[in-house]
Amino acid sequence: QVRPVESGGGSVQAGGSLRLSCTTSGYIMNCMGWFRQALGNERERDASIDMKSMTIYADSVKGRFTISQDNAKNTLYLHMTFLKTEDTAIYYCAVRASPKCPSSQGAYHYWGQGTQVTVSS
């Protein structure tokens, strides 16, 4: 089983918070990322974390989102705060079998099914 499994999406008011989770089943030491795809938009990277815990964030989420991992639980997280209506999207967990973390979604090998986040005003 190589497909990541996501959970934690839902509906919140603007300014609220959510924590997304992704079970990674053995690729915890590889590059992992969170991507979003809003209606009518391309899929874009929000954040990534490599095997040395170095993180990269899209400018639009810096200071609001935090990516982290828990090796004991084999789980990747995206802690989302100060959510905006513009954050409404399907969020995907992605895994790349490499220590590098490019921004292009085409570089990632394994994808979760996505979890919907809806932020209302």
**Rounded average pLDDT over 47-76:** 92
Residue 98 burial class via C-beta count within 10 angstroms: exposed 0-12, middle 13-18, buried 19 and up: middle
pLDDT band at 24 (very low <50, low <70, confident <90, very high): confident
Give the integer Cα–Cα distance in Å for 90 and 118: 9
Q: Encoding tokens for residue 76?
A: 């990747």
> Would you say residue 71 has pLDDT above 80?
no
Q: pLDDT higher for 65 or 28?
A: 65
Q: Residue 86 above 60 pLDDT?
A: yes
- Residue 82, pLDDT score: 98
CA atoms within 13 Å, Cβ hemisphere of 11? 2
Taking residues 34-43, what's their average pLDDT?
96
